[in-house]
Structure 1
Amino acid sequence: MAKNKEEKTNVMRILDQKKIPYTARFYEESEGPEGTREYGVHIAQTLGQDPARGFKTLVARGASGGIYVFEVPAAENLDLKKAARAAGEKSVELLHVAEINAVTGYIRGGCSPVGMKKAYPVIFHQTALDYETIYISGGRIGAQVEAAPGDLIRLLRAQTADIIANKA
């Protein structure tokens, strides 16, 4: 039996359970350009969204061994030094693709800060607060949720910081 593309994800169930308003957005999986930055912008454009409001999830390991989740605008790159400073670590490095599922329970391209296997520290780029709503992964490729950043930050006990690389 084929899965319904618009079937609720665990992310959506958690938001429902916590009574956090959101709008589910679905899109057809496509190859899109290589790299998370280009792909995130491609998805935003496909859905007619402002890429600055679409946040991608990046997972990193600190020098202490701790796991951290960073939410950055789709068109931006994470600055590892700024991210380490925000996390209170000497340094951080992104997890290898092969580790993402084991650590988070999600696959690359469908990783959401909501509903990971464990509650890791989450840091949103500070621009999330500039918008009434933002888009994050819905927990699988082809799904995203639009919600108020304040609601997501409270749910995840997240913080905000300047964690993106400056444009040259």
Structure 2
Amino acid sequence: MSASKTNAVRLLEKAGIAFELRTYEVDPDDLSAESVARKVGMPPEQVFKTLVARGDRHGVCLAVVPGNCELDPKALSKATGDKKVDTVSLKEVEPLTGYIRGGVTAIGCKKDYPVYLDETAELFDVIVLSAGMRGLQLVIAPADYIRVAGAKIAPIARVKA
């Protein structure tokens, strides 16, 4: 696995941002954040997943929520200023971001979409996110992620029903 070749890793290195990479065995039948958390030895609330959403007024954005939670579309709508926000279909994810499901990250995305990070990220010294490919996770300080991704902090997650 050529870990240092993802766009996200190159951008972080160029920016001089400290990070750690963790690899894990990919199970294409279980790409859940909880599964990834177990494999990289981190609690699910500290492993964040990046979801692609589209609002009715402002278009595509990225929502980054803890692995033990789900996106709250109403809360994301409030944060984006849209009336309604829904996640995009899986077939749209790669054309929009350049990343496949299970490897989506806001860093080095195909286009600079607005990024909304759930407020719980700031509770941790480090958070874990995809480094831009399945099987590779990025361990980074929330403040550094916010800076490099241009993320806005908002309460956009809710505990899974």
TM range, normalised to the smaller chain? over 0.9
- Larger proportion of strand: 2
* Deviation for aligned residue 1:32: 5.1
Deviating more after overlay: 156-165 vs 6-15: 6-15
Larger Rg: 1
Report if aligned partners of 1:135, 1:144 keep a CA contact under 8 Å in 2.
yes
**Does 1:16 pair with 2:13?**
yes
Deviating more after overlay: 140-149 vs 6-15: 6-15
- Correspondence for 2:148 among 149, 152, 155: 155
The one-character-per-residue Cα deviations of 1:74-97 (angstroms, maximum 9, x if unpaired) are: 110101000110111111110101
Q: Tell me the amino acid that sits aligned with residue 99 of structure 1.
A: E
The one-character-per-residue Cα deviations of 1:119-147 (angstroms, maximum 9, x if unpaired) are: 11101000000011100101000001000
**Does 1:49 pair with 2:42?**
yes
Partner of 2:105: 112
Partner-residue secondary structure (3-state), 1:144: strand
Report the Cα distance in structure 1 between the residues aligned to 2:100 and 2:156, rounded to whole angstroms. Answer: 23
Q: Tell me the amino acid that sits aligned with residue 156 of structure 1.
A: A
- Structure 1 pair 91–28 and aligned structure 2 pair: CA distance change class (3 A): same
**Does 1:100 pair with 2:98?**
no
Partner of 1:77: 70
Report the Cα distance in structure 2 between the residues aligned to 1:9 and 1:117, rounded to whole angstroms. Answer: 12
Alignment gaps of 5+ in structure 1: none
Partner of 2:134: 141
* Deviation for aligned residue 1:31: 3.8
Q: TM-score, normalised by structure 1?
A: 0.90
The runs of at least 4 consecutive aligned structure 1 residues that moved more than 6 Å come to none
Report the Cα distance in structure 2 between the residues aligned to 1:74 and 1:53, rounded to whole angstroms. Answer: 7
Q: TM-score, normalised by structure 2?
A: 0.94
- Correspondence for 2:51 among 46, 50, 58: 58
- Structure 1 pair 29–22 and aligned structure 2 pair: CA distance change class (3 A): same
Count of aligned residue pairs for this structure pair: 161
